[in-house]
Amino acid sequence: MQSLLYKHFYGVYPSYELCLVGDKESVRKDLQTPSCCKDCEKPDFGSKPHPFIHLGDDELQVYPLVQQLQIVELNRLALDHKNIWNYINPSLGNHTMGLVDTSVAPSLEECGHGISTNFGVVAYTGPQPSTCKEIRTKVKLIEANAGTLPAETLASCANTLHNKSTSLKECMKCWNAVLQEQDPNNRT
């Protein structure tokens, strides 16, 4: 289904790619993290608009019916409150399909935005945690929302969750294990 969407939107917006984006999210706000974006310091960066194109159900009437139906279904799945991208940073709102300018996507990722999803697109969720304390807090939030995590994930996070790890590398290993576990199609 997504390859048809990719083809369609590439034809309409050749410099954009599909993503998941919060309904209150903007590229400008995402890139306001101090000193995270080298491209943002370039003189011509501020003069170019780099908006997300939101593909919420209310913005679809200009697209062919097939793409409308595909996006409506993907949005229905993406809006599930159990999806990490909808609760990890609630100030961004609920996430739906959208488009991101490919020239700004690397800057967003450099600033820690964006997590891979099983939808085959990146979900822009706000900056990723960069300290063991932030990772501990987010993992506990995920555990509270998702219920208990699998034993192997908990084992790889034991030191992080119990304040025994000060190694950012070990904490990031835990964070990545938790993110991999958050597959909306793998819930029972």
| pLDDT tens digit sequence for 76-85 | 999 988 888 8
Residue 36's nearest CA partner among 108, 104, 135 is 108
Alpha-carbon radius of gyration of the chain = 17
137 plus 170 within the same structural domain: yes
What's the total number of domains in the chain?
Answer: 2
Overall size of the chain counted in residues: 188
Q: Are 122 and 130 in contact (CB under 8 A)?
A: no
Of 91, 123, 155, the residue at which a domain comes to its end is: 123
Which residues span the domain enclosing 30? Answer: 2-123
Stated pTM of the model: 0.77
- Structure confidence by residue, pLDDT tens digits, 45-102: 555 566 899 998 888 999 999 999 999 999 999 998 888 888 888 888 899 999 999 9
**Last residue within a domain, chosen from 70, 104, 123:** 123
User: Which of these, 157, 125, 137, 55, lies nearest to 97 by C-alpha position?
Assistant: 55
Residue labelled with tokens 């048809």: 4
Mean pLDDT in residue range 136-154: 83
Contact indicator for 107, 4 with CB cutoff of 8 Å: no
